[in-house]
Structure 1
Amino acid sequence: MFAERDDAQEVAETLAELFPALGVPRVVRETLAGEDDAEDAQWLVVAEGLDEEILPEVDELVERYAGWREPG
């Protein structure tokens, strides 16, 4: 999850380069309930099929862009 779309896009592209088997993760805009201002949206990088052993590397990448990973 990222505050800036550019950061989410960069992470998605980097994940695709590091882990080609994943394909290119989708970047999705998520608005918070009750938020009217588009500037308050958060950006999700939807990456499916992540193995447990690569999660530390994913977490490090996400943290470099001031984001966080939600399990699921």
Structure 2
Amino acid sequence: MLVLPDRDAAEDAREDFAARFPDLDDPELVRDALAGEDDAEDAQWLLVLEAPEDGWTPAVLAELDAVAGAQNGWREED
């Protein structure tokens, strides 16, 4: 899962992901409101990634970190 600061960053990261990994399914884009916050400005956006059956290789994890980092986000393990 990639955690991004806003919807625009999440959409840009999804496009970058699709360009880097054309053989994988497009990730799901999900709004994640912070606890106790109703304001859309206080929401993070998540790209939910489906790992391949054999898991992510270290090289792919580095690519995912780059995709998230380019949008001021980060990667989290499930």
| TM-score, normalising length: structure 2 | 0.82
- Count of residue pairs brought into register by the alignment: 72
Amino acid at match of 1:44: L
Tell me if the contact between 1:13 and 1:25 (Cα under 8 Å) persists in the aligned partners: no
Local SS of the residue matching 2:4: coil
Q: Amino acid of the residue matched to residue 19 of structure 2? A: E
What stretches of structure 1 of length at least 5 have no aligned partner?
none
Q: In structure 2, what is the equivalent of residue 62 of structure 1? A: 68
Structure 2 unmatched runs, 5+: none
Aligned-pair Cα RMSD in Å: 1.3
In 2, distance between residues paired with 1:32 and 1:18? 29
1:21, distance to aligned residue in structure 2 (A)? 2.1
TM-score (normalizing by structure 1):
0.88
Specify which structure has the bigger relative contact order, considering alpha-carbon pairs within 8 angstroms and separated by 6 or more residues.
2
Whether the aligned pair in 2 keeps the contact of 1:12 and 1:45 (CA below 8 Å) is yes
